[in-house]
Chains A and B, each alone.
Chain A
């Protein structure tokens, strides 16, 4: 089974069924499959070969969906990037994976006119919107491709261990890493998840999460797998718009992160709405507080809530059956189907007795490593009990109760989860270090009701230097995605050090305030 077969099989069985509702368009499986074939044929003619990486740099929109499946049909591997990724990091990722093509909008194509010279591997830039004619022979129009290329399926064949995607994730070293995902990885993960969610072709999923985030991406992949309908929105910027859409389209599945539930719970008028069609809500990315669950149950009394946990390196790890929330409050459940999970101590010995240990994952959803990073790969993707096997050391600490239910304790490293997405403190620190007059900086996560963790930067400047909070945030805005920009910036004369001379985050945090400013806005 291959990922693009999800689309092709559904297009055969559910020809005229609406597969995608997005940008005021309603597209059937047949229509989408045809468009993907056209774009795939273009890619093949443009010289894309099996395994080539092709970037997708869009907001959540129809063309992003088309591009993803077209790339697969052409035998390539898609690399979806958050549309708020700034130029320098965009170039880093494209060069890191030696992308041969990129799909983007005219605004980006115009702004980043030197992209094809800064990324020598790029053979073509496909843009939609106003056609950027004359910029270079390597620019192509998405709309023209849809007109000019045939809708027959390209004659490209893949096998399930072929590369399907690189999903970039933040790393504690500060540079993003591309998680290598084969067709088999994705199919395995999608099969397990759709099984425990009991998905059927009658399901209608509403996704506001970015397609660059694996949680958002898989909403698309799984919906096409089970022949359902995906309602794709750009963001949760206007929550009431999303709620109305949820009701209007009789949505049955709604994936959220805790920041979204915090925003929902602020809304006074939700209790007057009925959500009879909503079969389930899922949560992952960060812990969903029990107080949120209680309130969500009041607003959505007919809806099952799935608390889950996962990481990009294996897509998903665990889920809590909705009827077990009360019996195991605070748990993220047990391993999903076709997977084994266990805890190990510092000596890599299995723990069975309720002690805290690092979670290890075993299964065909465990991805193949980090692109071009053998050392980092070897630290995390290690031999299992059997020498031929690779298992994933998650770097997350858990304990298990006697029924095997998992409880998250903390990270081994210092990754921050802001709005459910990973933020590397080092990556943010590196950006701030590049400012004139900054001598020292450390970035931490502090508990925040709305964000999960808010990002705070402690900055030490040269004496008499006039660096402001605004300057720091402006610098971060220039180089980082929007969810990585520090919420709080505090200037200090010096930062506390531990005996080995490293910045002592614990002592620093000991005096740290909680996200109090947010509380006045969040309310309930």
Chain B
């Protein structure tokens, strides 16, 4: 489902709904010139707002962002990290 939301966002904002261009899960944004450097900021902003995560400077890397599949995996990782941190907080408070 995350992949679908990402695909829709990319399609609407960088391909402007052009149905001739189909983005596969592993289509590289860099190699195919689909997003430019200022467009990447929009994608980061979208990801941060939609999924309520924070993207650190050195997380903006091809391994995390350069395809729908990679980005989806990155988002899942961040969400599960956030869950773990949320679960740990009460314990930390209890020991103070």
Secondary structure class of chain A's binding surface, majority of residues: helix
Contacts of B30 in A (CB 8 A): 234-235, 237-238
**The stretch of A64-72, A114-122, A263-271 that contacts the partner chain:** A263-271
| Cβ-defined contact, B33 with A482, below 8 A | yes
Nearest neighbor of A260 in chain B, beta-carbon distance: B37
When C-beta atoms are compared, the residue in chain B nearest to A272 turns out to be B57
One digit per residue, 1 when the CB lies within 8 angstroms of any chain B CB and 0 when it does not, for chain A 499-524 equals 00000000000000000001001100
**What is the chain B residue whose CB lies nearest that of A454?**
B38
**B32 nearest CB neighbor, chain A only:** A107
Tell me if B56 and A269 are in contact (CB < 8 A).
Answer: yes
Are B18 and A477 neighbours in the complex by a CB distance under 8 Å? yes
Contacts of B56 in A (CB 8 A): 269
User: CA–CA, A233 to B22, complex, Å?
Assistant: 26
Set of chain B residues within 8 Å of A260, measured between Cβ atoms: 37
B60 to A: closest C-beta gap in Å? 6
A6 within 8 A of partner (CB): no
CA distance A471 to B61 in the complex (A): 31
CA distance A259 to B57 in the complex (A): 17
Q: Which of B15, B33, B40 contacts A59 (CB 8 A)?
A: B33
Given the contacts A474-B15, A477-B16, A237 and B57 also touching, CB distance less than 8 Å: no
Interface size on A, residues (CB 8 A): 33
Q: For chain B residues 31-48, which have a beta carbon within 8 Å of chain A?
A: 31, 33, 35-38, 40-42, 45
Q: Is the CB of A267 within 8 A of B36?
A: no
Cα separation A501 to B45 with both chains bound (whole Å): 43
- Asked if A474 meets B61 with Cβ closer than 8 Å, knowing A84-B33, A419-B38, A521-B42, the reply is no
Minimum Cβ distance to chain B for residue A86 (Å): 11
- CB of B57 within 8 A of CB of A235, answer no
Q: Which residue of B lies closest to A267 (CB)?
A: B57
Hey, which chain B residues are within 8 Å of A59, CB to CB? 31, 33
Contacts of A419 in B (CB 8 A): 36, 38
Q: Is the CB of B15 within 8 A of A237?
A: no
Cβ-defined contact, B37 with A237, below 8 A: yes
Interface size on B, residues (CB 8 A): 25
CB proximity of A109 to chain B, nearest CB, Å: 15
Partner of B15, one of A238, A240, A477: A477
Decide: A521 and B41 in contact? CB cutoff 8 A. Answer: yes
Q: Are A241 and B36 in contact (CB under 8 A)?
A: no
Choose one: A236, A471, A473; the contact of B37 (CB below 8 Å): A236
Inside 8 A of B16's CB, which chain A residues have their CB?
470-471, 473-474, 477
**Is A433 engaged at the interface, CB distance under 8 Å to the other chain?**
no
Interface pair A482/B58, CB less than 8 Å apart = no
Closest residue of B by beta carbon distance from A476: B16
B60 touches A238 (CB 8 A): yes
A239 in the interface, Cβ–Cβ < 8 Å?
Answer: yes
Q: Tell me if A83 counts as interface (CB < 8 A to partner B).
A: yes
Question: B58 and A269: CB pair below 8 A?
Answer: yes
A237 partner residues in chain B, CB cutoff 8 A: 29-30, 35-37, 40
Which residues of the other chain, B, contact A482 by a CB distance below 8 angstroms?
Answer: 33, 36
Within 8 A of B (CB), among A172-202: none
Name the A residues within 8 Å of B66 (CB-CB). 238
A46-B33 Cα distance, complex, nearest whole Å: 31
Per-position binary interface string of chain B over residues 57-87, scored 1 when its CB falls under 8 Å from any chain A CB and 0 otherwise:
1101110011000000000000000000000
Of A83, A235, A471, the contact of B36 (CB 8 Å cutoff): A235
Asked whether B12 is an interface residue with its Cβ less than 8 Å from the other chain, the reply is: yes
A521 touches B45 (CB 8 A): yes
Considering only CB atoms, which chain A residue lies closest to B30 in the complex?
Answer: A237
Can you give 29 contacting A-B residue pairs, CB < 8 Å? A59-B33, A83-B33, A84-B33, A235-B36, A237-B30, A237-B36, A237-B37, A237-B40, A238-B40, A238-B60, A238-B62, A239-B57, A241-B61, A259-B37, A260-B37, A263-B38, A268-B57, A269-B56, A269-B57, A419-B36, A450-B38, A450-B41, A451-B38, A470-B17, A473-B16, A477-B15, A521-B41, A521-B42, A521-B45
The 7 closest A-B pairs by CB, nearest first: A474-B16, A473-B16, A269-B57, A236-B37, A267-B57, A470-B16, A240-B58
Residues of A in contact with B (beta carbons under 8 Å apart): 59, 83-84, 234-241, 259-260, 263, 266-270, 419, 450-451, 470-471, 473-474, 477-478, 482-483, 518, 521-522
Q: A237-B29, A470-B12 are in contact. List 9 more A-B contacts (CB 8 A).
A: A235-B37, A238-B40, A238-B61, A239-B37, A266-B41, A419-B38, A474-B17, A477-B18, A522-B41
By a beta-carbon cutoff of 8 Å, the part of chain B in contact with chain A is 12, 15-18, 29-31, 33, 35-38, 40-42, 45, 56-58, 60-62, 65-66
